[in-house]
Structure 1
Amino acid sequence: MFASRVTRGNAPDHAPTGCHEEGASHPLLSRDALDRAAHAGVASLSGGLSPTSVALAFMDWALHMTVAPGRVLELSTDAVLAGADMAHGALRTSVARQKRGHVPEDPRFADDAWAAWPFHAYRDGFLRLQQWWESATTDIPGVERHHEDLVRFLARQWLDACSPSNFVATNPVVQRAAWSSGGTSFVAGAMHWLADVRDLVHDRSGDPHDYSSEWLPGKRVAITPGKVIWRSELCELLQYAPTTPTVAKEPILIVPSWIMKYYILDLQPHDSLIRYLVDAGHTVYTISWRNPGAAFRDVGLEAYLQEGLLAALAQVRDRDAQRVHMVGYCLGGTLLAIAAAALFRDGRGDELKTVTLLAAQTDFTEPGELGLFIDASELAALDALMWRQGYLDGSQMSAAFQLLKARDLIWSRMMSEYLLGRRSQPNDLMAWNADTTRLPYRMHSEYLTSLFLNNDLAEGRYCVGGRPVALSDIEAPMFVVGTERDHVSPWRSVYKLHLLTHNELTFLLTTGGHNAGIVSQPGHPDRYYRCATRAAGEPYRGRQEFLSANEPVDGSWWPTWNAWLRDHSDGEVAGRAIVDGLEDAPGTYVFER
């Protein structure tokens, strides 16, 4: 079967060089199986997190605090002064309402009702405590950077859970809603809570809301006309029907991340990047990855490269053109960077016309808060959990992403839905986010160990076909997009590709987060971007220099990218109709849950 046949790639326990004999494997010893079972049991109880990592981080922080009396004295003084100031402010504003201009910038306390006594005292006390903890977990001499970041992150999670906005007695907005509704807001909230508990008990979805019926792919999202033209056991290749008489000579092949369904790029027609490209006169193909189960546990990263990306590229070249505009999103962009480096290493670089990377990291030394979940202890726990299941479940993965934005995704939502009785109105992006995918055990272990933890790709140790690849070999022009509020692929990390390549590279920084910054259609309000091109061979410019030298441009970045693709295309040809196909888009694999 496929899962046993395709086992290429770097094993999780690869050698320090990152290369090993292809297909090499070692039977699990009984000791290893026992250790993994123990790790898996602990990881299942902790939601995939490592208690050891947390304990070590707090121990590192606490022990170094005991030998920093000056820092302790400073923090103690700050606490006393803050307490005195809070008491004075509470007494003063118990008679006169606090002016609106003094309200701190925090969306949880944006309502005017928070300016009234005693709620302003709850708010101000909480914000001062939050500020104090931020200071207490920053710049402690001797504390390892990873441990310091983890302690600060966990302290923020605890504080967000204790926010006065989360409780009826301390939230004036909740009290006002209850009074004006005669208590029906509490009844509605209780009904919402019961419905969510029922869904979780029955395990209907990784997200408590089930949007599948309303936002089914092919119904309201993923409706750009096209066909599945090729299918393997790992992915489907979709081609979209042209809508213009002529199209750019070179087609576009999109490689989405395997941790998401591809239709993040084909939502409703007005915010579909694929529809935009087709209407702009491009022939567009995209890969739709399969949602793997336990049978795919031994499928590795090189299988995704060889049997997925490169096999799809061969299909496009056979049908359409000798050179292709390649586009990779998130981990699909990381995989594309690996593929491009391997193609140029092997003398096949002329297959690529251009390479576009959307919110994709190639250097993982600054991964942002996602790096809090990645260290040796954490990977041992996660690896054991995946080893027992054969995959990482989508709900387990989404839990980590929710923790990164717990204030918005957990506590604010719970306050709105359970205390105010307001059910969140679903949209296409929320529905797509709830449509989670699984990740094969071997592939995810290789990705986390080789790329994320050891940074093998950026440091020239990552191997394809038993030989290392180097990003500096890539000669094709690149268009690289980062987003300002990306917590998955921070733009400062994405920008590091400038250090690893010497080819022509256009870097664009846009507003929004990891998903919303990419799904940024023309007409979207409050969007802007910065853009600059480094010619081949030009010296490196730092990130701050990029920000200073490039003024924001209002609007969507899509037209700028389309113009770049046009400038790097060799003219136009007649639109190429789809002459055959296995079935209509969006295909079959997108429905696997």
Structure 2
Amino acid sequence: MTDDGPDPFTNMFEAPAKFARTLFAPLAEATAGTPLSPEDMRDWAEVGAKLQGLWMEYQTEQLANPQALAAYMDPSRWMRMAEDWYRQMPIADPAQQQALMQEGMALWQQVLGQYGLGMDGAAEAKGDPELPRRDRRFADPRWRAHPAYALIHQTYLFLAERVGEMVDRMDGLSDDKREQLRFTTRAITEAASPSNFPLLNPVVMERTLESRGENLVKGMEHLLADLRRGQLSHTDASAFKLGENIAVTPGKVVHETPLYQLIQYSPSTGQVLETPLVIFPPWINRFYILDLNAKKSFVRWAVEQGVTVFMVSWKSADASMKDVIWDDYVRAQIDAIDHIRDRLGVKSVHAIGYCVAGTTLAATLALLHRRSEQDKVKSATFFTAQVDFEKAGELLNFVDDNQLGMVKAMSADGYLDGRYMAATFNLLRGTDLIWNYVVNNYLLGEEYPAFDLLHWNGDVTNLPAQWHQQYLRDLYRDNKLVEPNALSIDGTPVDLGLVGTPTYVQAGKEDHIAPAESVWRITDHFKGPLKFILAGSGHIAGVVNPPDAGKYQYWTHDGAPRSLTEFREGAQEHPGSWWPDWIDWLRERDGATTPATGKRKPGSKGDNVIENAPGRYVATR
């Protein structure tokens, strides 16, 4: 207040505050309902007692075992991230603050206009109001049924937009720091969504009243179960068992080392391609993403096409693997290739590398070429695999010195617990893979679905600490793999420019882990014949897309595009799965066949094997 009159900010806030009280009063009365009966009071008291009892039981467990809460589930970690973000964000000057307030008031007037409201009261919406911003988190009609809830979520969406724009306009930021700040801003605004808070979410409020709070009890049980296991649950894990309803394609473990098991699948055709196929899946996840069930299994489908299929099943790391580095995974790939060649008496194999195992396969090929042993691999296929990490997407936000230091601190036993990686990948899709489940399972108290893909996603593997640091530092951060001879593996300099192996490269159009532009760059480094295809969907669904499903599409290009943009401009779209295109390409490399007899049938007479597929390693936690 000054001698010249009232503070202008007082007038600015006085009218909106008075109006907000008027507007929200009917909502408070509606949610309050009729007075509670003695029975109602007893029911709500029981719910409160249950919630308190569950929490006290958990707290007692934590006092007895203070290390039980995994570091990646520790709320203080996320608080530190929020504090770092707050320190970096600029503070708007008074003129900007006033402009933001005026824009906000204009939004309120626009929203309320859909309800026929003035400043003196509220009324229920008639029909479906046309609100200025739409978001699937607020798709339920109850978010629009009352103007208060409409204002809550519309104001949130407006502010999230403006905060994102502030990051885009900030001066003095390098490109990587700006991208990192964008990522953190999105993570924090996703966490701040009103849908994540019971009192602000009309769907949760209605469920709570209808169930007399039992949804909150069930949700607390889910929350505490996840805190105990140190991992967010996405599915009912008890619904799946390895070898029974997932990873069920028949086969035998025919070779084993401390790092991996080698599975050979039983043939289902009388004749098979003479050149066998070995698949290297990423050791960041379990191999059975390619063998989820009979309908989705790439392994079963390839076997049915007359291919002798081998699968590497990597061991989840433990303290005994503290000295394992990237060289060991390259040596393991060469060892698997050599074992298959000796076992079947063939000169070469076809090889598939998925994600990080594809990156490793590229290094393996370069190593074999340097040693003049390139004929061991007749063709190479890459599923969403990167070799050039300059455009590696949002995972680049986790490779600065601070992040690497934190990862190292969490790997004191010589390995990184896979739950950390699971939390990181979930954070890349926070709305879908974190907050959606917070609302459904913690707030609404819904039961978990039995979904094999989500079960696999949560079936984490541990990573050798030295390898993980080496991978993040040398490849993601420093991008050394594409520098000729900048890296040496097993004492041999690596140069991707030597690789002349015929190559098939698949990228996912919507891949957020290995972006299509990043995958494309393999075409800049290999010198041999190469076919690139772009598949619909992302990192998983873009790969695991069986023909019978009739889903998505893929694109090919018959010319010689020099960039992904040129590829897209001249690409031909094909409906459905790209798998048939790949098998045709594979047969073009070598169509010779041989009877599926002898060691082509693992475990047949005279063939000593170790155990039935899927083997022990995939079940190791």
TM-score higher than 0.5 here?
yes
The one-letter amino acid paired with 1:449 is R
Q: Helix, strand or coil: the match of 1:495?
A: helix
Structure-1 residue corresponding to 2:202:
172
CA offset at residue 426 of structure 1?
Answer: 2.2
Structure-2 residue corresponding to 1:440:
464
CA offset at residue 175 of structure 1?
Answer: 3.8
1:572 aligns with 2:593: yes
Q: Indicate how the Cα distance of structure 1 residues 51 and 101 shifts in structure 2: closer, same or farther if over 3 A, else same.
A: closer
Structure-1 residue corresponding to 2:362:
337
Deviations 1:571-593 (A, max 9, x none): 22222322322111111111101
Question: In 2, distance between residues paired with 1:423 and 1:113?
Answer: 22
Structure 2 counterpart of 1:550, from 565, 571, 595: 571
Q: Indicate how the Cα distance of structure 1 residues 210 and 175 shifts in structure 2: closer, same or farther if over 3 A, else same.
A: closer
CA offset at residue 567 of structure 1?
Answer: 1.8
Residue pair 1:511, 1:517 contacting (<8 A) in 2 also:
yes
Residue pair 1:50, 1:381 contacting (<8 A) in 2 also:
no
Q: Indicate how the Cα distance of structure 1 residues 129 and 48 shifts in structure 2: closer, same or farther if over 3 A, else same.
A: closer
Deviations 1:211-269 (A, max 9, x none): 55431210101110100011111110000011111112211100011111111111111
CA offset at residue 432 of structure 1?
Answer: 1.1
Residue pair 1:166, 1:415 contacting (<8 A) in 2 also:
yes
What is the correspondence of 1:20-419 to structure 2 with a 5 Å cutoff?
Answer: 61-62=88-89, 76=97, 79-95=100-116, 97=126, 99=128, 102=131, 104-116=133-145, 117-178=147-208, 182-183=210-211, 186-201=213-228, 203=229, 206-208=231-233, 211-306=236-331, 308-320=332-344, 321-386=346-411, 388-419=412-443
Question: In 1, distance between residues paired with 2:313 and 2:453?
Answer: 18
Question: In 2, distance between residues paired with 1:163 and 1:326?
Answer: 45
Residue pair 1:264, 1:432 contacting (<8 A) in 2 also:
yes
Question: In 2, distance between residues paired with 1:75 and 1:278?
Answer: 64
Question: In 1, distance between residues paired with 2:558 and 2:242?
Answer: 37
Q: Indicate how the Cα distance of structure 1 residues 380 and 525 shifts in structure 2: closer, same or farther if over 3 A, else same.
A: same
Residue pair 1:225, 1:585 contacting (<8 A) in 2 also:
yes
Structure 1 counterpart of 2:448, from 424, 432, 437: 424
TM-score (norm 2): 0.80
Residue pair 1:48, 1:385 contacting (<8 A) in 2 also:
no
Question: In 2, distance between residues paired with 1:543 and 1:371?
Answer: 20
Question: In 2, distance between residues paired with 1:110 and 1:226?
Answer: 46
CA offset at residue 87 of structure 1?
Answer: 2.0
CA offset at residue 397 of structure 1?
Answer: 1.4
Deviates more, 1:562-571 or 1:441-450: 562-571
The one-letter amino acid paired with 1:111 is D
Q: Indicate how the Cα distance of structure 1 residues 344 and 48 shifts in structure 2: closer, same or farther if over 3 A, else same.
A: farther
Deviates more, 1:151-160 or 1:128-137: 151-160
Question: In 2, distance between residues paired with 1:285 and 1:454?
Answer: 33
Residue pair 1:368, 1:489 contacting (<8 A) in 2 also:
yes
Question: In 2, distance between residues paired with 1:521 and 1:75?
Answer: 53
The one-letter amino acid paired with 1:121 is L
Rg bigger for which structure?
A: 2
Residue pair 1:227, 1:584 contacting (<8 A) in 2 also:
yes
Q: Indicate how the Cα distance of structure 1 residues 243 and 73 shifts in structure 2: closer, same or farther if over 3 A, else same.
A: farther
Question: In 2, distance between residues paired with 1:197 and 1:516?
Answer: 31
Residue pair 1:90, 1:118 contacting (<8 A) in 2 also:
no
CA offset at residue 88 of structure 1?
Answer: 1.2
Question: In 1, distance between residues paired with 2:226 and 2:397?
Answer: 30
Q: Indicate how the Cα distance of structure 1 residues 174 and 43 shifts in structure 2: closer, same or farther if over 3 A, else same.
A: closer
Question: In 2, distance between residues paired with 1:352 and 1:366?
Answer: 28
CA offset at residue 485 of structure 1?
Answer: 2.5
Q: Indicate how the Cα distance of structure 1 residues 50 and 196 shifts in structure 2: closer, same or farther if over 3 A, else same.
A: closer
CA offset at residue 458 of structure 1?
Answer: 1.2
Structure-2 residue corresponding to 1:22:
none
Q: Indicate how the Cα distance of structure 1 residues 371 and 55 shifts in structure 2: closer, same or farther if over 3 A, else same.
A: farther
Q: Percent of pairs identical after alignment?
A: 32
Residue pair 1:505, 1:533 contacting (<8 A) in 2 also:
no
Provide the alpha-carbon RMSD of the alignment.
2.7
Deviations 1:60-84 (A, max 9, x none): x54xx58xx9xx7996576245313
Q: Indicate how the Cα distance of structure 1 residues 45 and 219 shifts in structure 2: closer, same or farther if over 3 A, else same.
A: closer
The one-letter amino acid paired with 1:106 is D
Question: In 1, distance between residues paired with 2:101 and 2:78?
Answer: 35
Q: Helix, strand or coil: the match of 1:512?
A: coil
The one-letter amino acid paired with 2:190 is D
CA offset at residue 456 of structure 1?
Answer: 1.0
1:506 aligns with 2:531: yes
Structure 2 counterpart of 1:563, from 569, 584, 588: 584
Residue pair 2:237, 2:450 contacting (<8 A) in 1 also:
no
The one-letter amino acid paired with 1:94 is Y
The one-letter amino acid paired with 1:342 is L
Structure-1 residue corresponding to 2:613:
585
The one-letter amino acid paired with 2:298 is L
Residue pair 2:557, 2:572 contacting (<8 A) in 1 also:
no
Deviates more, 1:294-303 or 1:190-199: 190-199
Q: Helix, strand or coil: the match of 1:481?
A: strand
The one-letter amino acid paired with 2:335 is A
Residue pair 2:235, 2:450 contacting (<8 A) in 1 also:
no
1:458 aligns with 2:471: no
CA offset at residue 176 of structure 1?
Answer: 4.3
Question: In 2, distance between residues paired with 1:285 and 1:422?
Answer: 40
Question: In 2, distance between residues paired with 1:477 and 1:98?
Answer: 60
Unaligned runs of 5+ in 2: 1-69, 117-124
Q: Helix, strand or coil: the match of 1:446?
A: helix
Unaligned runs of 5+ in 1: 1-41
Structure-2 residue corresponding to 1:6:
none
Question: In 2, distance between residues paired with 1:209 and 1:126?
Answer: 26
Deviations 1:265-324 (A, max 9, x none): 111110011011001111100100111211110111111111x11111001111222121
Residue pair 1:255, 1:328 contacting (<8 A) in 2 also:
yes
Deviations 1:77-98 (A, max 9, x none): 7624531321211331232657
